[in-house]
Every structure is written in structure tokens, then in C-alpha cells.
Structure 1
Amino acid sequence: MSGSSKPELSKSLSGLQLWGIAVGLVISGEYFGWSYGWAAAGTLGFLVTTILIALMYTTFIFSFTELTTAIPHAGGPFAYSFRAFGPNGGFLAGFATLIEFVFAPPAIALAIGAYLNVQFPALDPKLVAVGAYVVFMGLNIAGVSIAASFELFVTVLAIFELLVFMGVVAPGFSWANFTAKGWAGSDTLTLEGFGGIFAAIPFAIWFFLAIEGAAMAAEETKDPRRTVPRAYIGGILTLVALAFGTMIFAGGVGDWTQLSNINDPLPQAMKAVVGESSGWLHMLVWIGLFGLIASFHGIIMGYSRQIFALARAGYLPPVFATLHPTRRTPHWATLAGGVVGIAAIYSDELVTIGGQPLTANIVTMSVFGAIVMYIMSMASLFRLRTVEPGLERPFRAPFYPVFPAISLVLAVLALGTMIYFNPLVFGLFVGLLAAAWVIYRLTAGLRTTGTLDPLLNLSAADLAQVEARTLTD
């Protein structure tokens, strides 16, 4: 098979649209999920956790952008790790990313269903969740420009609503409320509070999880060397500001412990200031749905590109690398991820993990995939700087090697903490990777087509050099 016969995605995205994807992938995390970190660490303890995780993500994005602009590829971390560590490295990063992006959407879809069920009790939340999959898979298949324009629209609405929330509750904010018993229920930092800072790491990650998915749209972006750095840096700065603003304002309007174990902390915080009948509150509840929709829609775009890239390189059946004949979108890859997500939705009450429903753990599973991918990406950055110093890098990580080292160390710390607090889910994560590895080894014939994915810039001879270099090391 010649390089020219490989399916290639169309380049139609602007830098603004890519910024919308980067922020939209994450923004549901500003609306729910993070407040469980207060239950583990308290407001002050979780503030420390969030500072650490924000540092990890900020240094990660400034470093990750070097890889994205040097190797603009739909597989994102898969391509970088393949280039750095060969096929086995590509496998680990690619399938870890796939787990992250396939396991996050079912939880968000069920949140959409649960939200609408509160407003319309006659609606079945699971049917709504499945309907969300059908609608947004269809929108993604319709065309990347259409999908990205919609993503930008709902993302801007979701950001606007968060700013409205901060402005409305500001008159009721008190720093004394925020700091009261802020160290895991104590006014002073104790050993329990110190442990809570680490236990709360997954909930701080939820503020930023999946921003790296914009890398999978880099191949479809106009002039990625210029637009990707702007979109990524603008995206992470936007999310850091929103994360701290949302958390601090919500925690200072009353008794923060009443918000620490619920899925709707923002409406409840606003209710404490403006009352239940306020039009501001109803606007927050309704427009808040756009935050969920933005992330759900964006992550579908992310998983479809990851499946497409893995199939195009021979790591998954080639049918998933097929593009729609007129829309030039990976329609079979989009549908494949949807089948897994819908199966997870209907397995919620049939399958339990550690005594909890399946979907209560799939976000943790998604985080495990993300952390492994972060580690592999930073390792790839260091590796490529050493073995390919001549690789064209339109954007170079600032303060190298400090920034990528900070990100790598914090990611390893996060992984160790996650394993300690979630050993069963980690075991299942390893089991999924092991099963994928068996399939990967049994389908070796898919990767002997003479030329690998040309966007990796590796011919058969180049591939042999990468493999030899990996074995030598």
C-alpha cells in the first residue's frame, strides 16, 4: 500500500475553533465532579491540590505543544510515543489515550440524562443518554467544521455562564466561609488533612481532564504551527482562571460542606445567595447543560480521531480508518466508540466494581488512561530532544527541561496516588491494556503493509531504524 492511499483528514479548522475544542473538552469539569475534592481535603487542602494539578497541566501544555506542532497527527500522543519509542511505545500511549476518551463520555451522557430527568421526570435518563450519543455522533460525522463551530458556540455559552455565576454570588462571598475548617474539616493542617490533599488529586484533575484531546484535531487544523500554540496556551489559561474562580466563589458563599458531596455545587451555591426563585438560578441550571454538551461532543471528536489514527497505523482493524466518502470524517470510528459508551450506560446497574455501579468508576478509569498518557508524552519529549535534535520544532517548550520535568514528576506522583486509593480500578485498567496487547500481537499482519502512516514521517526503512534504536536502548 502506498503512502498516497492512506486516508487523510481535511484541513478546515481555525485557531479559534481549536481553542473552542480545547476548552470545550474540559469545561463540564467546572460544573460538577470537582467538589468531591472538598470531602477528601477540605477547601484549603483542595486548593493546594488544585494548585499542584494546575501546575502539572500548565507545564504539560507548554511542553505538549512542542510535540503537537512538530508532529501534527490525529493520533496525538500515539504518534509522539511511536516516534520516540517505536511501535510498543505507540501502543501504550495510544491505548491509554483511547481508554481515557472512550470511558469519559458515558459518565457525561448519564449526567445529561440525569439533569433532564430532574426537569422532566417522565424522561428515562438512559434513553436521554443514548439520544445524546446519537445526536452528537451524527454531528461529528456531518463534518469537522460543522462540529467544531457547534463546539465553539456551546463552549462560549458555558464560559459566559460561569462568569455570570461568579458575578452573581460575589456579593455573598466571604473568605471566612471558604477557610472555615478548610483542612479536611479542621482549622489546622493535620496528618489526615495532609493525606486528603493527595486523595483529592483525581477531583482536581477533573478540572482539566482531556484538554490534550485538541491535539487529535491538529491534523485537521489550518497552519497548525501557528494556530496550535495559540489555541493550547489560550485554552489552559482560560481553564485555570475558570477553575480557581469557580471553586473559590462557590466555597465562600456559605457552608461549603453542603456542596462537597453533590453533583450540582454551582446551582446550590447560587441558591444560597439569590434564593430558589431567582431568574439567575434558573438561567444557571439551563445554560449549565451546555457545559456538559460541550465536553461530551468534544470528547466524541477526540475518541473518533484516536480510533481512526490507531486503525490507520494498523493497531486496530482497518475499517475504522475508513473516511466518509463526502464528509471526510471517520464515521466507523465514531460509531465504534459510541457502541462501547452505550453498552456502558446499560451496564450501569448490572455491573458493579467495589460495590459501586460501573459508571461510578469509569471516570477514574479515564483518569488512569490520561495520567499514563501524560507520562508517555513527557518521556517522548525528552527522548526526541535526544535522538532527533534536528526534528523541526515550530514551537519549543519554554524553560526546557524544567517545565516538562515538573509535569512528568507531578504526573508520576498523581499516578502513584491514584493506584494507592483505587487499586481495583487500576487492576481493571491494566487488564484492559493486557487484553489490547494480546490483540495487538495477534494482528501484527496489519502492520506489514510496506509503509506505515505517512504522517508519522516514517517509511518502512525509517520504522526499522526506530525499532532498532529502541532495542539497542
Structure 2
Amino acid sequence: MSDNVSDRTQGDGPVLRRSIGTTQLALYALGSMVGSGIYGLIGKAAGEAGSAVWLSFVVALCAALLTSLSYASLGSRYPRAGGAAYVTGRAFRLPIVSFIIGLALVASGLTSIATQSKIFATILADIAGLEQLSPTFIAIGFLLILGGIVFRGIRESMWVNVVCTLMEVGGLLLVIASGISYWGSVDYFQTPPERADTAFGVIVLQASVLTFFAFIGFEDAINVAEECKDPERTIPRGLIIATFTAALLYIAVAVTAVSVVPWHELATTSSPLTEVMRRSAPGIPPGIMTFIALFSVANTALVNYVTASRLIYGMSGQGLLPNHFGRLHAKQRTPHIAVLALLAVSLLLVIAGGIADLAAATVLLLLVVFIAVNASLVTLKRRADEKPGQFEIPVILPLAGIAVCTGLLLTRLASSDWRAPALAGALIALILALYAVLRMGKSDVR
């Protein structure tokens, strides 16, 4: 173990339980990436790129891999629960930057948890015939169960994650297997005819802005670093395995989807992969994809809950949040105060409703976080007194990551309506106000 482990592990109190190996971490990151997004994203991407949508996933892989490799390298250097908040703090030595980055990620996790809870409630009500129950009531019950699992321990959370991830991957493999006989039946370089005046490469690049977001989730892996066995090796291996596995699945699903359902029909259906299954395997009940989607949604919420709780725990250890957020339960060895705080805010978001615009805003903040993480690695690599990790990459890769994420951010800002950027700005303003309040009450912050 390196000397970069949190000081809390050196005391007499409880510490986070180290139980995560490479396979579990890879499944954790994969479960976060292969979430509910791909089940609806494929149709929208096909509408932009036509049958060449598979190429947009190849481009998106290259873009995502740059930042994923930066996370892997930083994870091998500094295996800390604070993740991006810790590495940006170490790189720039400005607590306010770490505070903004950390809480931006927490905000992203909270909106995802609340959104997935609502989706879960809607799907469950449809499957189980519980239309008479309020979706909000079901979502609250789901959140309470989720909070109980995360509080219970990382082993239990990981086992639930493994089951859900295998169900998600199984659903995508089922789509591929049912439609593989259709491969070769279409022109895989065909783009929408109405975009004939646009260069082929530009069409693919524009669609890759959308498909890039199917890879978001790899960043969650670094936040469970203090619960990994041999994290300096486990984190890089797990991240790389997960990213490439997701890419192979996405590309194969994209090829299958446009082979079975013409791209222009795929773009207009509300449930693209269910439609693919209906045509390629009519003997399989269409509800099977809905059932798998239930596991996918639950897994996305679980991973975001674990990640957000570890971020809060790590930020407390950095002195960015009050020290009681860094307390661990003596028996379960989980950050129970952070878990309960997240549960309370998630319940409020679910009850309050309307969080779609907030979710869109946090996507913009995620790109800002990726830029900051890549810049952190560049800064740390150039600092003479920083020890290298066990997984090092050339400085050109994080620099390229900065360029790609900046391009994606600008493209996203240009294509979005004003509400998402305005909300993103409001969130940053709120985070800054909270930072000012905590600074004024220094005695309450470690």
C-alpha cells in the first residue's frame, strides 16, 4: 500500500472495508456506464448518424478513453475516496476548486438517484400492475431500500451491483444474439439523406457528442479506491476493462439495431431495443427488456449513491465539509452520516418533482469536472516532487482529454436551450455560497 492512503486509515477508529477486487471494480464501473441510457440513446444517435451510428460509438470511445486513462493514472497515484475532489485539490492547492468539483459530482449523483428512482417506480408499477399506487410512493420505498443496502456495507452493495450489471449486460447480449443473423444486410456508412451537404466525418463527430454520454460513469470507480484491494493496480485494470467492454457492447448493439430496424424507424420509436427484439425474436416476450431495464435503473441509482457517499466522506477528510460527514459506523464501516444525508436530499428531490432540467445541468458540470481532472494530471506530472503511480500515461493524453472535453462542452452549450446552462451556473453559485458559509464557520469544519 502506498503512503497516499487517507490519514483516517492510520487511526484507532473504524476504516472503510477493503473488499473490492479487479473483477468487482470492473463490474462496478461497467454497471455505471451500461445504464439505462443506451436503451434509449441508440435511437436518438441513429437519427443523427443513420446506419453509421456504430462509428459514432467508436469515436466516443476514443474521447472517453482519454479521460478514463487519466482517472486510471490518478487512481494508481492517489487511491483516495475523495476522487476528483482530492486530485484537483492536490494539483491546484485551492480548496475552493476541490469544493466546487466535489459538490458538482455530488449534485450529479443526487439528480441521477432521484431520476432513476422515479423511472424505477414507473417501470415497476407497469410490470406489477400497481397503477393504483402513487409513483412517488413507490420511489420513496425504493430509495429507503437503496439507502439500507448502501448503509449495510460495500460488500452487499457490490453483490447487488454484480447481479444488476450481469442482468444489464445479459440484456444487451440478448439483443446482439437475436439480431446477429441480420448483420451485413444494410449499408453501415449510410447517413440521413437530408444531411447530404454535410461531410460524413462531421456527421459522425456530431453524433459522437451524444454517444459520448453513454460512457459517462467510469469516473465513479475512483471514489471507492479506499475499499479496493491493492488499489494502485485494481483501479487502472478495472477502469480499462470496463471501458473497453462497454465499447464492444455498444458497437455490437448499434450494428445489430440498424441491421434489424431501419435507422429512420429506430430514431422515432420510444423503446428502440424493445423494437429490435420484437422484430428479431418475436418468440421472446417484449416485456423481458422492460424487466431488464428495471435492473439497469436500480443499478445506476445504486452506483451513484455509493459514489456520492464516498465523495462526501472523502471531502470531509480533506477538511472541505464538516467532520461528522467523515464518520464511519463502528460495525458496518460505512459513512453512515453521508448515506443518511444523501437519503434525505434524494427524498426531497423525488417529492418535489421536476428535476429533468437539473439533470441536464449536471451533465454540463460533469464535462467541467473531466476538464479539471485531466488538467490535474498534467499539473501533477510536471511537478518534480510528486511520485509517479504504477500506471503512468504520456502527458499528451490528458492534454488531448482537455481538448476533447472542452469541444464537447462547447458543442453541448451551443445545442442546448438556455435552461441547462443557467441552472449549471446557478448550481455553481449555490456551491460557492455554501463554501462561503462553511468558511465563516471554520470551527465546524475539520
TM-score (normalised: structure 2): 0.88
Aligned amino acid, residue 67 of structure 2: F
2:360 maps to a residue whose letter is T
Q: Tell whether 2:343 aligns with 1:347.
A: no
Q: Is the 8 A contact 1:32 1:263 kept in 2?
A: no
Which piece of structure 1 moves more, 337-346 or 218-227?
A: 337-346
> Alpha carbon RMSD of aligned pairs, Å?
2.7
- The alpha carbon displacement at 1:236 in A equals 0.6
- Residue 312, structure 1, aligned to residue 322, structure 2: no
Give 1:74-473 correspondences, 5 Å limit: 74-86=81-93, 87-119=95-127, 120=129, 121-173=131-183, 175-176=185-186, 182-183=191-192, 186=194, 188-190=196-198, 194=202, 197-198=205-206, 200=207, 203-275=210-282, 278-279=283-284, 281-348=286-353, 358-397=354-393, 400-422=394-416, 423-444=418-439
1:246 deviates by 1.6
How much has 1:269 moved relative to structure 2? 1.4
Query: What letter corresponds to residue 400 of structure 2 in structure 1?
Result: I
- Asked whether the 8 Å contact 1:29–1:206 carries over to 2, the reply is no
Asked if structure 2 preserves the Cα contact closer than 8 Å seen for 1:177 and 1:251, the reply is: no
Distance 2:227 2:441 in 1: 25
Report the equivalent of 1:21: 28
**Distance in 2 of aligned mates of 1:47 and 1:361:** 28
Identity of aligned residues (%): 22
8 Å CA contact 1:37, 1:46 repeated in 2: no
- Asked if structure 1 preserves the Cα contact closer than 8 Å seen for 2:55 and 2:204, the reply is no
Give distance in 1, aligned partners of 2:75 and 2:272: 35
State how far apart, in whole Å, the 2-side matches of 1:415 and 1:6 are.
43
For 1:154 and 1:409, locate their aligned partners in 2 and report how far apart those are by CA, in whole Å.
Answer: 34
Letter in 2 for 1:381: L
1:297-322 CA distance string (max 9 Å, x none): 11111111112222332323333222
Secondary structure of the structure 1 residue equivalent to 2:311: helix
Distance 1:262 1:300 in 2: 31
Q: Any idea what SS the aligned residue of 1:32 has? A: helix
Distance 1:71 1:446, change over 3 A: farther
Residues 178-235 of structure 1, C-alpha deviation per residue, up to 9 Å, x if partnerless?
A: 655x33x53735389957953x556313311121101000111111122112111111
Alpha-carbon shift at residue 255 of structure 1 (Å): 2.9
> Could you tell me which amino acid in structure 2 is paired with residue 408 of structure 1?
I
Consecutive unaligned residues in structure 1, runs of 5 or more: 349-357, 453-473
> 3-state SS of the aligned residue for 2:105?
helix
- Structure 2 counterpart of 1:169, which letter? G
AA matched with 2:436: R
Give the distance between the partners of 2:262 and 2:203, measured in 1 at CA: 22
Give me the whole-angstrom Cα distance separating, in 2, the residues matched to 1:404 and 1:427. 28
Q: 1:266 to 1:405 in 2, by over 3 A?
A: same
CA contact (8 A) 1:20 1:151 kept: yes
| Contact 1:69 1:394 (8 Å CA) reproduced | yes
Task: Give the distance between the partners of 2:230 and 2:55, measured in 1 at CA.
Answer: 38
Q: Using the alignment, how far apart are the partners of 2:124 and 2:189 within structure 1?
A: 34
**How many residues are aligned here?**
434
What residue identity is the alignment partner of 1:288?
A: A
Measured at CA, do residues 448 and 69 of structure 1 come closer, stay the same or move farther in structure 2, by a change above 3 Å?
farther
**CA apart distance, 1:383:** 0.2
- How far apart are the structure 1 equivalents of 2:104 and 2:270? 27
Residue 390 of structure 1 deviates from its aligned partner by: 3.8
CA–CA distance in structure 1, aligned partners of residues 382 and 202 of structure 2 = 38
Residues 363, 32 of structure 1: CA spacing in aligned structure 2 closer, same or farther, 3 A cutoff?
Answer: farther
Partner amino acid for 1:20?
L
Counterpart Cα distance in 2 of 1:99 and 1:45 = 34
Structure 2: runs of 5 or more not aligned: 1-6
Q: Deviations over 1:11-48 (max 9, x none)?
A: 22222211111111121145434135337613256545
* Cα deviation 1:359-380 (Å, max 9, x = unaligned): 3333322311211111010000
SS of 1:34's equivalent in the other structure is: helix
